[in-house]
Amino acid sequence: MNKHKYSLLKLLNFITGLAFSIFYSFFLIKREKRIIFNSTNNNRFTFNSMSLFIAKKAQFEAEGFEVFFILNDFEKRALLNQRFPSTFISNKGIKNKLIILQSAVWVISTLDLPVAGAFLARNRFVYHLGHGTPIKNIGLMEERCSLIKKCYYKVNATSISLYLSPSSFFRGYIAKAFGVKKDKVIVAPQPRLDAIFESSNQLDQYRDNSLMKLILYCPTWRPFSELQLFPFDDFDINAFNSFLKDMNTKILLRLHPLFEGDLSMYAHSNIMIFDSNLCSEISEVLVDIDALITDYSSIYCDYYLVDRPVSFIPYDLKEYTKKIGFSFNYDDLTSDSYLYSLIDLKNFIASVSEGNFDISPQLEMKERFNYLSNVSACDFNYQLICNKYKEIF
């Protein structure tokens, strides 16, 4: 499965980077005023690190930092270097590894370090921004966490200075999930959330008229079974598409970007496949979405910020709870709109179309899940990084 593929990649990267990391952690400890950003497997330009990079690259450079983003995909790197000249590098080859290892600051979205190894937070500030709200069990809190994984997290923790928690509600859980003390977890806003309030007009092309509603259907992946879309016994896609036409509504269907599959069978006039090829960072268009349907994806925590309808299809909640689990009780993590039947789904869509869905239960959840700062999320994290750099150097 994909999950095991990524675990093997992490293990291989760790082994190959161990010697370099020991040398640059204990012997050659001089650091350059340089920031290295990365994201998943050093091969994607996504998540919180991407958002902070785009928003604050120029400001970091004005502060005297060199700024680089690691992207091993050659074609993507070449394309982005046209937009940000001489900024995107790979972590392959001695020259690039030295640039990375001699840098004073690393900003990461996942546990994939710019160069794998151990003790890499020595004389360096390594900031783990994460890439979502921990609704599902993650890390060491996952069911049947293996000894190898526990060891990996223990070693990896030596290379991370600080972990971001999106709210005080999750701070203790995140400390447990990554196997660190709470003083290594800071409550801060996620940089990617700034984009939620900035309309990109990217979705205008999907609206047939100015009154048309767009509902994002965004279920998460399952490691134990195939995902069931529209999991209702009496569901007929052609009849449902006709209903959507009557409601002047379109469904934008999107799976987890790391586990996308062939959805062509669902593509209809009012059901659009909205995958990562069309939109790499979903937070950039959330403000233009009229409502959200999910199951266990943490995207709804972000979407609560725009005060629009959210509903859930937890069709396999019992099995998911047993095999994956949640950071807290599912009922305590969700507002009270659940879709257990096709009638429930149609009623939700009708309430969105008619503008009478009651969002009041979501308002408390919004503050529980998100740190609401009086400055932008990127400004907050920019200042935090600058302050940490001054503390260390």
| C-beta neighbour count of 143 within 10 angstroms | 10
Question: CATH topology of 10-189+373-392 equal to that of 196-369?
Answer: yes
| C-beta neighbour count of 381 within 10 angstroms | 27
Residue 1 pLDDT: 45
Mean pLDDT computed over 163-167: 98
Give the tens place of pLDDT for each residue, 199-255. 888 899 999 999 999 999 999 988 889 899 999 999 999 999 999 999 999 999 999
Structure tokens belonging to residue 17: 């980077």
**Residue 208 CA to chain centroid, in angstroms?**
30
In the sheet with 185-187, reading across from the earlier edge strand, the strands are: 88-89, 66-70, 32-37, 103-108, 125-128, 162-165, 185-187
Residue 318 pLDDT: 96
Residue 342 pLDDT: 98
Distance CA 68, CA 106 (A): 10
- Indicate if the pLDDT at residue 13 is higher than 80: no
**Residue 203 CA to chain centroid, in angstroms?**
21
Contact 117, 156 (CB under 8 A): no
The residues pairing with 310 across neighbouring beta strands, listed in sequence order, are 292
Mean pLDDT computed over 183-202: 92
Distance CA 79, CA 373 (A): 34
Residue 353 pLDDT: 97
For β-strands 162-165 and 213-217, DSSP reports them as unpaired
Average per-residue pLDDT in the chain?
Answer: 93
User: Would you report the helix, strand and coil content of the chain in percent, each value rounded to 5?
Assistant: 45, 15, 40
Distance CA 104, CA 121 (A): 9
CATH 3.40.50.11820 is held by the domain 10-189+373-392: yes
Residue 8 pLDDT: 63
- Indicate if the pLDDT at residue 258 is higher than 90: no
Residue 358 pLDDT: 96
Distance CA 324, CA 183 (A): 27
- Indicate if the pLDDT at residue 26 is higher than 60: yes
Question: ∠272-360-219 over CA atoms, to 5°?
Answer: 30
Mean pLDDT computed over 262-278: 92
Residue 284 pLDDT: 83
Give the tens place of pLDDT for each residue, 303-342. 999 999 999 999 999 999 999 999 999 999 999 899 999 9
Give the tens place of pLDDT for each residue, 101-130. 999 999 999 999 999 889 999 999 999 999
Q: List the chain domain ranges.
A: 10-189+373-392, 196-369
For domain 196-369, give its CATH number from 3.40.50.12580, 1.10.510.10, 3.10.580.10, 3.90.950.10.
Answer: 3.40.50.12580
Residue 75 pLDDT: 97
- Indicate if the pLDDT at residue 3 is higher than 60: no
Looking at the chain, the whole-number percentage of residues with pLDDT higher than 90 is 80
Distance CA 21, CA 10 (A): 15
Looking at the chain, the whole-number percentage of residues with pLDDT higher than 70 is 96
- Indicate if the pLDDT at residue 7 is higher than 80: no
Give residue 168's identity as a one-letter amino acid code: S
- pTM of the entire predicted model: 0.88
Residue 5 pLDDT: 54
Give the tens place of pLDDT for each residue, 352-371. 999 999 999 999 999 999 99
- Indicate if the pLDDT at residue 175 is higher than 70: yes
